[in-house]
Structure 1
Amino acid sequence: MKAKDMSQEERLEYLIQYLCRDSVRYKSLRVEKAERRATLRSLMNIRMPGPVSEEFLEIQDAFLQQEAAEKGIVQVEAIPTIQEAYGINGKLGSRISLWQGDITRLSVDAIVNAANSGMLGCFVPCHGCIDNAIHSAAGLGLREECGEIMERQGYEEATGKAKITGAYNLPCRYVLHTVGPIVYEALTEHHCRQLSSCYESCLSLAEKNGLDSVAFCCISTGEFHFPNEKAAEIAVETVREWLEHSRIERVVFNVFKDEDLEIYEKVLRDRLQ
Structure 2
Amino acid sequence: MPLSPFPPDGLAQPSAPHPALPLSAYREAIGLDEPFRPAAAPAPADRLDDHVRTVLQLLGGTPGVSRLGPRAHSLLDPGAADATTVRQLLRTLLTVRPPGPLPGAAAELIDAVLGAERRLRPSVAVRQLPSIAEEFPRNPYRAARHTALWRGDITTLAADAIVNAANSALLGCFRPLHPCIDNAIHSAAGPRLRDDCATVMALQGTSEPTGTAKITRGHHLPARYVLHTVGPITDGRPRPGDAAALAASYRACLDLAAEVGTIRTLAFCAVSTGVFGYPKDEAAQVALRTVAGWLAAHPGRFDRIVFTVFTADDETAYRRALGKAA
1:93 paired residue number: 144
Equivalent-residue separation in structure 2 for 1:128 and 1:5 (angstroms): 27
Q: CA deviation at 1:68?
A: 1.9
Deviation per CA, 1:179-230, whole angstroms, max 9, x where unpaired? 0101147312311111000000000001111211110001111111111100
CA gap of 1:266–1:5, structure 2 versus 1, over 3 A, is closer
The one-letter amino acid paired with 1:19 is L
- Are the equivalent residues in 2 in contact too, given 1:41–1:136 (CA < 8 A)? yes
Query: Deviation at 1:89?
Result: 6.6
Q: How much has 1:20 moved relative to structure 2? A: 1.7
Equivalent residue for 2:129, pick from 76, 79, 85: 79
Of 155, 170, 188, 1:137 maps to 188
2:244 is the counterpart of 1:193:
yes
Cα deviation per residue 1:68-92 (whole Å; 9 max; x = unaligned)? 2222111112211111111137552
Which residue number corresponds to residue 97 of structure 2?
47
Q: Which residue number corresponds to residue 48 of structure 2?
A: 8
> Shift of residue 5 of structure 1?
6.0
Please state how far the C-alpha of 1:238 moved relative to its aligned partner.
0.2
- The alignment's C-alpha RMSD in Å is 1.9
Structure 1 match to 2:23: none
Counterpart Cα distance in 2 of 1:12 and 1:260:
34
- In the alignment, which residue of structure 2 is the partner of 1:169? 220
Q: Do structure 1's residue 256 and structure 2's residue 296 form an aligned pair?
A: no
Moved more, 27-36 or 200-209: 27-36
Between the aligned partners of 2:189 and 2:200, the Cα distance in structure 1 is: 17
Structure 1: runs of 5+ lacking an equivalent: none
Q: 1:200-215 residue pairs with structure 2 within 5 A?
A: 200-210=251-261, 211-215=263-267
Q: Unpaired segments of 5 or more residues in structure 2?
A: 1-39, 76-80
Task: Give deviations 1:164-184, integer Å, cap 9, x for gaps.
Answer: 001010000100000010114
Equivalent AA in structure 1 for residue 112 of structure 2: A
Q: Give the equivalent residue in structure 2 for 1:29.
A: 73
Report how many aligned residue pairs link the two structures. 271
Aligned partner of 2:159 among 108, 115, 121 = 108
Task: Name the one with the larger helix percent.
Answer: 1
Structure 1 residues 5-59: Cα deviation after superposition (integer angstroms, max 9, x where no partner):
6511111112222222323626971112241111011000000010125732222
* Greater mean alpha carbon deviation, residues 19-28 or residues 205-214: 19-28
Q: Is the CA contact 2:42–2:113 (under 8 Å) kept in the aligned structure 1?
A: no
Q: Which residue of 2 aligns with 1:240?
A: 292
Does the aligned pair in 1 maintain the 2:273–2:279 contact within 8 Å? Answer: yes
- Which amino acid in the other structure matches residue 52 of structure 2? L
Which residue in the other structure is 2:271 paired with? 219
Q: What is the CA-CA distance between 1:93 and the residue it aligns to?
A: 2.0
TM-score (norm 1): 0.94
Q: Contact conserved, 1:3 with 1:59, CA < 8 A, in 2?
A: no
Residue 213 of structure 2 contacts residue 227 of structure 2 at CA under 8 Å; is this kept in 1? Answer: yes
List structure 1 segments (4+ residues) > 4 angstroms apart after TM superposition. 2-6
Matched residue type, 2:134: E
CA contact (8 A) 2:43 2:116 kept: no
| 1:126 maps to which of 169, 177, 180 | 177
Identity %: 41
1:178 is matched with 229
User: For 2:267, what is the secondary structure of its paired residue?
Assistant: strand
Assess if the C-alpha contact under 8 Å between 1:3 and 1:11 holds in 2: no
2:283 and 2:104 map into 1 onto residues whose CA distance is: 42
Distance 1:174-1:39 versus aligned 2 partners, 3 A rule:
same
- In structure 2, how many angstroms separate the alpha carbons of the residues matched to 1:168 and 1:5? 16
1:260 is displaced (CA, Å) by 1.0
Q: Provide the rounded CA distance (Å) in 1 between the counterparts of 2:275 and 2:193.
A: 21
The equivalent residue for 2:109 is 59
What residue number does 2:7 align with?
Answer: none
State whether residues 20 and 29 of structure 1, in contact with CA within 8 Å, keep that contact through their aligned partners in structure 2.
Answer: yes
Which secondary structure state, in structure 2, belongs to the residue aligned with residue 14 of structure 1? helix
Q: Which amino acid aligns with 2:88?
A: A
